[in-house]
A and B are shown apart, each in its own frame.
Chain A
Amino acid sequence: MSRETAINVVLALLLLAVPFIAMQLGKPFYVTLATRMAILGLAAIGLNIALGLGGLVSFGHAAFFGIGGYAAGILASHAFSGQPLDFGLFAVPGSKLMPVIWAVAIVAGGLLAAAIGSISLRTSGVYFIMITLAFAQMTYYFAISWPAYGGEDGLSITIRNTFPGVNTLVPQNYFLICYALLVVGLVLFALLRDSRFGAALQASRQNEVRVASVGIAPFRIKLVAFVISGMITGLAGALYADLNRFVSPSMLSWHMSGEFIVLIILGGVGRLCGPLAGAMLFVMLEYILGGLTERWQFFLGLLLLGVVLFARGGLIGLLAGRARHG
């Protein structure tokens, strides 16, 4: 087992252990924190496919996160009110079933990513950063001023959605669901990274001209990666909505997109467990510092600065050294 693999396993086990330790210590709230880590980690894994492997620095992933969240919120609210969603030509009923909601969130995230990606991928570098931001901002302002689902006030899911055979209201159960999806995300990322597709994607990041000159069209590779990325982040959005039992435009805001990027850099760009490590560290810092002082953002800033300056390659980079590509 390489050093990095060992660290990854430890990280994953650590997260899994949190809820059990928390219950032992009588701190049930830590289960919620761990769930939050898992979900943000999953969202960032989605981004890591685009950003880490493909070099596509999307500053608009909040759009996919948010659309996943709204998928959950809207379906749940229609299920709650009993009114079907009206698409003009046809109507579909709402749903409180997580698998259904997830499927819708994944499809919605993917479709939105396909639309945004097919325009944004014409640009590159900083222009790409900004055009993805622009699209996310459009969805953000749309959500804010769209009264049907609460606008800026958001939409609450009074009771968490259900999963067949599991009582999702128990925090540990919901954690396990999210954790399982996180693991699926990690496995998917690892497979993707080492596959032919992953090779083409990573090569496109390093040298697009080279990729084209061996006969692989980089645009299609990147678009597919972007769509997969949007699907995973969309799924995470649905989970997040259920964790908070609430969706609002702030899930779509640029702060959210920025936070995903921060998570990845903090953990290690392009590394399998980078997003997870970043999410765990960030949520922990936010929680601990927030409890210590009202000026916690100041100290969070200092800590983040310390990480950038002194831990190149993020947390995983610090612990496991530089990445190597076979």
Chain B
Amino acid sequence: MAEAVLAIRDLCKSFGALRATENVSIDLVPGEIHALIGPNGAGKSTLIHQIAGTLKPDSGEIEFLGKPVSHIGAAERARMGLGRSFQVSSLAPEFSALRNVMLAVQSRQGTSFRFFKPVMRDAALVEPAMEALERAGLKDRARVPAAELSHGERRQLEIAIALALGSRAFLLDEPMAGMGPEGSKTLTSFLDGLRREAPILLVEHDMDAVFALADRISVLVYGRVIATGTVEEIRSDPEVRRAYLGGAE
């Protein structure tokens, strides 16, 4: 197996008496989609938050691109190439889709402390941003304020932003949520292609998508990884069926 892009070791996090993350070790290797599934409240989003740096773990190590990142902030991790989407879309609502993406481009290019050149006339910003929007299928909506986008379009925009960051790994928290069948199909094939650029840690409740996409699946229950394996292994794991999949799948 190739060298892991992202490696998490023995991560722990409690909220009071509640152990939201308990000795979690997971890794993400180039080219893969690693799905993280588990019941509601299992601690998936909490884990994503810790990896992204918006929540501080109680103990454990996070390594990204071979470097420990536990001590550095969210912004710096993002600049290193850790792209993420939020479970609930998180955008700059007054900015157009384009300007939302341009913000990521600007960050990737280095400094935000440039005071005089107008961004909208800066091809170095606009062009890569348009490209990312196009790849995410939002080119037509580039000038629409994020607040006026429909639910599905906002999810696409989150992806576009992560693309524009030139991310070396993606953390996607329920990107399919709220998408209709059509949107899910498009997004599934899009993610399928995206993994070649950078591996994806995918949190998702849409099992059709997970089974279609995942190279590996880890199952999180009550903060602990109870199983990791291929689609087939997980599908047939009786423990997983009981705790998560239930009768249907």
Contact = CB atoms under 8 A, between A and B. Distances in A.
Do any CB atoms of chain A lie under 8 A from CB atoms of chain B in the complex? yes
Interface string A195-213: 1111110110011011111
A202 B92 contact: yes
B183 interface: no
Contacts of A207: 90-93
Q: Which of B93, B107, B108 has the most CB of A within 10 A?
A: B107
B236 interface: no
- Say which size band chain B's interface belongs to: 35 or more
Contacts of B108: 215
Given A191-B116, A224-B113, A326-B96, A216 B107 contact: yes
Interface stretch (B18-26, B34-42, B72-80, B188-196): B72-80
15 contacts: A195-B117, A195-B118, A196-B125, A197-B112, A206-B95, A207-B93, A209-B90, A210-B100, A212-B78, A213-B74, A215-B76, A215-B104, A216-B75, A216-B106, A325-B99
Nearest to B105: A214
Interface of B: 52, 54, 73-79, 84, 86, 90-96, 98-100, 102-104, 106-108, 111-120, 122, 125, 143, 145, 161, 165
B146 to A, nearest CB: 9
Contacts, number: 117
Nearest to A195: B115
Contact of B115 (A192, A202, A206, A211): A192
Interface in A196-243: 196-200, 202-203, 206-207, 209-218, 221, 224
B139 to A, nearest CB: 16
B103 A199 contact: yes
A194 interface: yes
A326 B143 contact: yes
A196 B112 contact: yes
Give 5 nearest A-B pairs by CB, closest first.
A215-B79, A215-B78, A194-B118, A206-B92, A215-B107
A210 B115 contact: no
B121 to A, nearest CB: 8
B73 to A, nearest CB: 7
B165 A214 contact: yes
Contacts of B54: 209, 212-213
A197 B96 CA distance: 17
B91 A199 contact: no
Contacts of A323: 94
A198 B106 CA distance: 12
Contact of A197 (B104, B113, B122): B113
Nearest to A194: B118
A214 B108 CA distance: 8
